[in-house]
Amino acid sequence: MNRLSRVILLLTGLLASTVQAETILIKGGKVHTLAAAGSLPTADILLRDGRVEAVAPSIDADADKVIDATGKVVTPGVIAPMSELGLVEISAASSTNDYGVTGKSIGSAFDPLPAYNPNSTLIPYSRAGGVTRAVVFPAISTWNTDAEEMQRVFAGRSFAIALNGEFDSVVATDLAHKAYLGDVGAQLAGGSRANAFAKIKRALMEAREYRANREAIRSGNWRQLNYSIADLEALQKVIQGQQPLLVTANRASDILQALKLARDFNLRLIIAGAAEGWMVAPQLAAAGVPVVIDSLDNLPIAFESLGARAENAALMQAAGVTLAIAGPGYGGTHNIHLSRQAAGNAVAYGLPYEEGLKAISRNVADIYGLEGGTIEPGAVADVVVWSGDPLEVTSFAERVLIGGEEQSLVNRSTRLRDRYLKPEAGHGAGYKF
């Protein structure tokens, strides 16, 4: 390396360290750390190099940027436990949907990550609602009547993103698998929830068989298996307990069948839905199985959720179940930021306030093994400054930081609002309704 190259490399390193060394001091807000320090009526937070360096009633330190949070509420960023962000832009436009595939040959092996679009307009939209991270899952639509797809109950694998809109915003891959029981599983399995259960069980049994006889199966010197080698390979981490299996189930009896499946195969299980979860809360807690719920889904709108009730979250949490709360319809793409409204409703029906905040942040991180969800020394600096109580629908995110970098809250909706709030010539001015 010549002298000029060494100088350029040194200057590049110095510039990078200067950028990384930016410090931000958030002063005077009511801070919900969701960590050992609990909630602090007034506190300062020092962020450095994308991490929380200190949290204290008062911090006297030089900083590159000071954010006055006096009279505001400060929390960790919201984390979506289930979403299709970056995979779906407009659900009615098939060309913008990459969340699933047809055909039965690819089920658990399906990895939607290559289709992820960090430039999706729904990422800044969700970020403006205080969401800083999200877990992205594939899905299977029951609208599709393709005979082959309707025999597949595994949707595929998930990944996690930071909502900074960068091309390197994927923070974790191959997080969990998704499968269907209950009504949706029954539709996908040919009409019976019993067949959906049998299909999942058969897949796990064949994954075990494949693990014990991999070479013989791959060489063709083995009996014919129902699942492809790609699917069985993808399930290896699941059957070894290294990766959770998220299963959709609402009816109490379906949840109990999922718990039996977890016991039989030593699975790390996550239940999504659990409209009747309160009925089997002791069993869920004893098994250490976390639950992803939409606490706004509290009406008996289907036969599998006749026992739905508004106190569902509170009753499960009181029994010791770890909860993650998703937005209406489990987030999808457009409703992810409404998870805090769902948490607010759960609090209104008995869920302790701090537990409501944890259910949309810390608990999600804990369930999937992600960073985020707390404000404490060493934690990733995903922080939101709210205008008021974040569980109140009239409050909004005023400042959003991801990895210690303040994010723009401008999105397509705000641009449209600003464009038509005061129309200018050529932009709809003079239009008569």
Q: What's the pLDDT score for residue 34?
A: 98
Q: What's the pLDDT score for residue 93?
A: 82
In tens digits, the chain (433 residues) has pLDDT values of: 455 444 444 444 444 444 455 899 999 999 999 999 999 999 999 999 999 999 999 999 999 999 999 999 999 999 999 999 999 998 878 888 888 876 655 689 999 999 999 999 999 999 999 999 999 999 886 555 455 544 689 999 999 999 999 999 999 999 999 999 999 999 988 889 999 999 999 999 999 999 999 999 999 888 889 889 999 999 999 999 999 999 999 999 999 999 999 999 999 999 999 999 999 999 999 999 999 999 998 899 999 999 999 999 999 999 999 999 999 887 688 899 999 999 999 999 999 999 999 999 999 999 999 999 999 999 999 999 999 999 999 999 999 999 999 999 999 999 988 888 877 776 555 444 3
Q: What's the pLDDT score for residue 421?
A: 86
pLDDT tens per residue across span 256-270: 999 999 999 999 999
Task: Tell me how many degrees the CA angle 306-310-312 measures, rounded to the nearest 5.
Answer: 80
Domains of the chain, start order: 1-77+375-433 (2.30.40.10), 78-371 (3.20.20.140)
**Dihedral over Cα of 198, 203, 208, 210: its sign:** positive
Task: Tell me how many degrees the CA angle 417-422-423 measures, rounded to the nearest 5.
Answer: 95
Q: What is d(CA 184, CA 191) in angstroms, rounded to the nearest whole number?
A: 9
User: What is the three-class DSSP state of 48?
Assistant: strand
DSSP 1-35: --HHHHHHHHHHHHHHHHHHT-EEEEEEEEEE--S
- Reported as half-sphere exposure (CB side, CA atoms, 13 A), residue 252 has a value of 14
Burial-class residue 224 by CB neighbours within 10 Å (0-12, 13-18, 19+).
Answer: exposed
Model pTM score? 0.91
pLDDT tens per residue across span 74-105: 999 999 999 999 999 988 788 888 888 766 55
Q: What's the pLDDT score for residue 15?
A: 46
Residue 204 Cα distances to 179, 209, 289, 300, angstroms: 12, 9, 18, 32
Give me the helices (H) in 288-385, please. Answer: 312-319, 339-348, 353-359, 362-368
Q: What's the pLDDT score for residue 20?
A: 56
Q: What's the pLDDT score for residue 99?
A: 82
Q: What is d(CA 234, CA 260) in angstroms, rounded to the nearest whole number?
A: 22
